[in-house]
Amino acid sequence: MANTVIGSSIVIDGEISGDEDLVVQGTVKGKISLKESLFVEGSGIVEADIETQNVEVAGRVTGNINATEKVELKSDCRVVGDIRAPRILIADGASFKGNVDMDAKGR
Amino acid sequence: MAQSEQVGIIGKGIVIKGNLTGAGDLVIEGKVEGQIALKNHLTIESTGNVQADIQADELTINGEASGNIDASSKVAISSSAKVAGDIKAPRAPTPSTAEPNRVPTTQ
């Protein structure tokens, strides 16, 4: 499967959409909407509203996260924004500021 | 230098609308609309479709590109490529089968 990687020196200002996994090691500002999974790695900075199936955050995310399956906040990540997903996992050491909405019926 | 080894890949299923800047190498297999400014090597694969003004050090086009191209070292256009727009580069080899709609200008 083709894998999309936004390398750590890459900055994207705009809208990313697609139907495959996305790995962010760099910076993305704007909006991300995917049908698959988003991985924000330790060096990754996302200032965007996110709509995906799964999200794994080890870096920084500022923006609202809306996932149809699962959101995982790894230790040492920093997330500011509301999270809406049926399954949410926040690791020990993760920093999170925002609201959690796990009501899957509302979507 | 570690930074030049970092490769970013925009996979086939990904669409980016907006500005893309960076220092690492980048391979585009998907679709990019907007502007690209890259300090290193940009490769547009045969599945790639770029509708953007492109600024890069080195540029390899195997897919479709429309917009103004400004390369600081060289542009390579393969025979499968479709290019529409102005090309500005010190060296711009153009295989006879590729059809830029304008004559490349070299400086």
Is there a contact between A18 and B11 if contact means CB atoms under 8 Å apart?
Answer: yes
Query: What is the DSSP-derived secondary structure letter of residue A92?
Result: T
Nearest Cα to Cα of residue A86 among A73, A100, A97: A100
CA dihedral of residues B86, B33, A25, B3 (deg, nearest 10): 0
Q: How much is the pLDDT for A3?
A: 82
A92–chain B nearest CA distance, Å: 30
Is there a contact between B18 and A17 if contact means CB atoms under 8 Å apart?
Answer: no
For chain A, how many structural domains are there in total? Answer: 1
As for the ipTM of the complex, it is 0.89
Of B10, B17, B29, Cβ closest to residue A14: B17
Nearest Cα to Cα of residue B26 among B1, B54, B66, B68: B54
Share of chain B above pLDDT 70, in %: 79
Q: How much is the pLDDT for A93?
A: 96
Q: How much is the pLDDT for B24?
A: 86
Is there a contact between A8 and B24 if contact means CB atoms under 8 Å apart?
Answer: yes
Nearest Cα to Cα of residue A48 among A70, A75, A22: A22
Low-confidence ranges of chain A (pLDDT < 70): 1-2, 104-107
pLDDT tens, residue by residue, B40-87: 999 999 999 999 999 999 999 999 999 999 999 989 999 999 999 999
Nearest chain B residue to A15 by CA: give it: B17
Share of chain A above pLDDT 90, in %: 93
Residue A14 is assigned to a structural domain of this protein: yes
Report d(CA B104, CA A41) in Å as an integer.
41
